[in-house]
Amino acid sequence: MGMRKKHLQKRHLVELFMKTIMRVSFVIVAGALGLILWTIISRGLPALTWDMVTQVPKGGYYMGKEGGILNAIIGSAYLATGGTILAILLSLPIALYLKAYLGDSKWGGCVRLSLDVLWGIPSVVYGAFGFALMIVFGLRASLLAGIIVLALIELPIMTRAMDEVIRRMPEDLEHAALALGSTKFEVALRVVTRQMLPGIVTAVLLAFGRGIGDAASVLFTAGYTDRISTSLMRPTASLPLAVFFQLGSPYPEVQQRGYAAALILTIIVLAVSLGSRWLSARLNKYTVK
Amino acid sequence: MSETYEILTIKSNEQAEGRFTRPSVAARTRQDRAARRAFFIITLLPVALIIIVAVALLIRAWPILSAYQLSDLLFSEVWKPGEGKFGFWPFILGTVWVTVVGVVLSVPACLLVSIYLAEYAHAATRTIAKPVLDLLAAIPPVVYGVWGLLAIVPFVDDVLAPLSDRWLGSISIFAVNQPTGFGILAGGIVLAVMIAPLIISVVYEVFSTVPNDLRHASLAVGATQWQTIRNIVLPQVMPGIIAAVVLGASRALGETIAVLMVVGNVPQIPTSIFDSAYPLPALIANNYGEMMSIPLYDAALLGAALVLLVVILIFNILSTMVLQRMLRRKWA
């Protein structure tokens, strides 16, 4: 009897111990997020001024004189918007094709595998790939090259996210539309796309957030400039590189502005992430339950 | 009343007309076939893209691959592009060190968190956890780099390095040779946080493939929850956990900007986690500007990207195949 009681106690102690270290780990992970946000806000906020978001760099900006990073904010908006639009044009057909025509077939699995593998390729490799292509075609760093490389980076993220939600669509809806005589294409366009709109919007915004924050790929392909870009064929500035370059400066004032730029980037990315949650909840009202 | 009736009839008349002006069945079938063909061609893109990226890098790296033996490139320690010496070994080791430290720091905590979320946590805790993980995954690499620079590098320099110097200094991998804070440990800590959301969400998903009947059976014969997890659930999901770790490692291998900002970027053979290192992605990103001015330099850097790509492709394909099989496996 004594033995048995001891055994009981031991395994319950183990249970308690595991539960405690699990809770502690959870607090550590959540705490890491808090710590990152706190670091960025507490160091970025003092350096954040109205000029930062409304002015382009003026003469001597990189030695601590006047100006802002409007060029980088607008450049990033161009890059991520262009990349996202291009990625939608490719992702939506792939996701719909996977649902409507391929299902869980072997070729469907192959496409999904290659999308997952593409997702895992680091952005520096995409950047180097873009750079290699640019040498071949004799192109210089430009907004267009940046947009194309970002579209390639966003493609797997967007398609897989769309695929995951589209797959979960109730089959009844599809069957009902097919029974009424719709073609598969009509079902895909008019039923699947509408019913799964909340998920599609989430997927698009997820990819947009990833695109706007990516530095290693635009470093190779989009270049950097102090002006607001006006042409697809000219280089453009971007927020991640504005952060990166300003932190590398020996001037403390410029480094401070790097922290402020990091704060701006973080705010944009978090707003997109939270906004997609809100938007998808709102759009969910208009779907068939 | 009659007004409403009129409106209704007009509306249905319009609808009826609309039905007549619709394209014929033949036209719609033709449209369906055309769409099907166009979609099919776009669907070839992901498969083709992997091959195109690999081939493009291979072609651009060919000059250096044909000028030197592969084993010389990979295992030679001297990196002096100006003198035509391209040894990747310090960079490969730098990548391995940073990745291993990141994975070792990340995996235990990630496993505990995902087991907690999958098996113990209340629905309320899960609804907090999801946005926390989403936000961690959404933070851009360069912001992780800023955090590393402002918080982790000083923490390593002021707290961890002195502690290690005092208690663990005699063990060579914990020796503090270059007390700056910049180095493998700082890079590893930043990576550990960066790969956490990926590992946690994949492991969580893998845990939810185990049917509850198995858990109930174990709990019903008197096992504690932890005994159930250890003896029943964990053996079922082991391949998935390994795949998740490999996936996390491959993400860590390719991380560029965040690591580059905190790792010190000194091309040397590291011997301690406090040493500086110079991982492959950092090498590529730091030198793209001058690579056209020295012969073979561009080929060497694109060759470095190719090495990275090949390793990551192998890691990714293996782990994804395991996961695809696990997550779709059917339980009788």
Q: Phi first, then psi: what are they for B316, rounded to 5°?
A: -70, -45
Q: Do residues A125 and B256 lie in contact, with contact meaning Cβ atoms separated by under 8 Å?
A: no
**Higher pLDDT, residue A84 or A62:** A84
Where among B22, B41, B67 does a domain terminate? B67
- Please state, for a pLDDT cut of 70, what percent of chain A lies above it: 97
Same domain, B255 and B280: yes
> Does B332 reside within a domain?
no
**What mean pLDDT comes out for the span B98-106?**
96
pLDDT value at residue A32: 94
Question: Among A243, A77, A99, which Cα is nearest to A173's?
Answer: A99
Same domain, B51 and B98: no
Same domain, B84 and B20: no
DSSP secondary-structure letter at B79? E
**Mean of the per-residue pLDDT values for chain B?**
87
* CATH number of B235's domain: 1.10.3720.10
pLDDT value at residue A5: 62
- What ipTM, to 2 d.p.? 0.92
CB contact (8 A) between residue B224 and residue A29: no
Query: Side chain identity at B198, as an amino acid letter?
Result: L
What is the rounded CA–CA span in Å between residue A159 and residue A162? 5
**What mean pLDDT comes out for the span A118-147?**
90
Q: Which pLDDT tens digit goes with each residue over A223-266?
A: 888 888 888 888 899 999 999 999 988 888 889 999 999 999 99
CB contact (8 A) between residue B288 and residue A125: no
Same domain, B177 and B30: no
Q: Do residues B197 and B135 lie in contact, with contact meaning Cβ atoms separated by under 8 Å?
A: no
Range of the domain at B301: 70-327
CB contact (8 A) between residue A29 and residue B136: yes
Give CATH for domain A53-286.
Answer: 1.10.3720.10
The set of residues, in sequence order, having a beta carbon less than 8 Å from that of A221 and lying 6+ positions away, is A127, A130, A131, A134, A141, A142, A145, A146, A148, A149
pLDDT value at residue A194: 85
Burial of A29 (0-12, 13-18, 19+ CB in 10 A): buried
pLDDT value at residue B70: 86
Q: List C-alpha distances in Å: B58 to A133, A277, B46, B61, B250.
A: 12, 41, 19, 5, 20
Helix, strand, coil percentages (3-state) for chain A, rounded to 5, are 80, 0, 20
> Does B207 reside within a domain?
yes
Look up residue B114 and give its two tokens.
């995902």
- Please state, for a pLDDT cut of 90, what percent of chain B lies above it: 49
Q: Do residues A83 and A153 lie in contact, with contact meaning Cβ atoms separated by under 8 Å?
A: yes
> Cα Rg for chain A, rounded, in angstroms?
24
pLDDT value at residue B2: 45
Confidence tier at B329 by pLDDT (50, 70, 90): low
CA–CA min distance A3, chain B (Å)? 17
Three-state DSSP at B256 gives coil
Same domain, B174 and B258: yes
Q: Show which of residues 46-85 on chain A sit within 8 Å of chain B, judged by CB atoms.
A: none
**What mean pLDDT comes out for the span B167-193?**
87
CA dihedral B112→B115→B121→B125, nearest 10 degrees, is 60
The continuous run of DSSP H or E covering B80 comes out as strand B79-80
Query: Side chain identity at B37, as an amino acid letter?
Result: R
What is the rounded CA–CA span in Å between residue A180 and residue B28? 14
Least confident range of A136-140, B123-127, B185-189: A136-140
- Please give the sequence-ordered ranges of beta strands (E in DSSP) within chain A, or none if there are none: none
Question: Among B312, B307, B324, B299, which Cα is nearest to B99's?
Answer: B312
| Domain count within chain B | 2
pLDDT value at residue B80: 85
**What mean pLDDT comes out for the span B123-142?**
91
Strands B79-80 and B85-86: antiparallel
| Residue in chain A nearest B60 by alpha carbon | A132
Where among B12, B40, B67 does a domain terminate? B67
Give the number of beta-carbon pairs within 8 Å between A and B: 270
Q: Do residues A222 and A75 lie in contact, with contact meaning Cβ atoms separated by under 8 Å?
A: yes
Look up residue A96 and give its two tokens.
């719909």
Q: List C-alpha distances in Å: A189 to B35, B70, B244.
A: 10, 51, 35
Least confident range of A51-65, B6-20, B81-95, B318-332: B6-20
Question: Among B114, B60, B321, B145, which Cα is nearest to A130's?
Answer: B60
pLDDT value at residue A286: 75
Sign of the torsion angle spanned by Cα atoms B69, B74, B78, B81: positive
Same domain, B221 and B308: yes
Q: Is B7's pLDDT higher than 50? A: no
Collect all residues of chain B within an 8 Å Cβ-Cβ radius of residue A36.
136, 139, 143-144, 147, 151, 193
Domain ranges of chain A: 2-47, 53-286
Same domain, B38 and B171: no
Q: Show which of residues 197-256 on chain A sit within 8 Å of chain B, judged by CB atoms.
A: 209-210, 212-216, 219-220, 240, 243-244, 247
pLDDT value at residue B174: 84
Burial of B175 (0-12, 13-18, 19+ CB in 10 A): middle
**What mean pLDDT comes out for the span A162-176?**
85
Q: Which pLDDT tens digit goes with each residue over B266-298?
A: 888 898 889 899 999 999 998 877 777 777 888
Collect all residues of chain A within an 8 Å Cβ-Cβ radius of residue B321.
113
**Mean of the per-residue pLDDT values for chain A?**
88
Same domain, B237 and B260: yes
- In order, the DSSP letters of B83-116 are GTEE--HHHHHHHHHHHHHHHHHHHHHHHHHHHI
Same domain, B227 and B263: yes
Same domain, B171 and B224: yes
Three-state DSSP at A194 gives helix
Q: Which pLDDT tens digit goes with each residue over A78-122?
A: 999 999 999 999 999 999 888 888 777 788 888 888 999 999 999
Same domain, B47 and B81: no
Q: Show which of residues 117-156 on chain A sit within 8 Å of chain B, judged by CB atoms.
A: 117-118, 120-129, 131-133, 135-136, 152, 155-156
Look up residue A120 and give its two tokens.
């895992």
Same domain, B63 and B77: no
Question: Among B140, B65, B151, which Cα is nearest to A31's?
Answer: B151
- Please state, for a pLDDT cut of 90, what percent of chain A lies above it: 45
Burial of B107 (0-12, 13-18, 19+ CB in 10 A): buried
Q: Is B10's pLDDT higher than 70? A: no
How long is chain A?
289
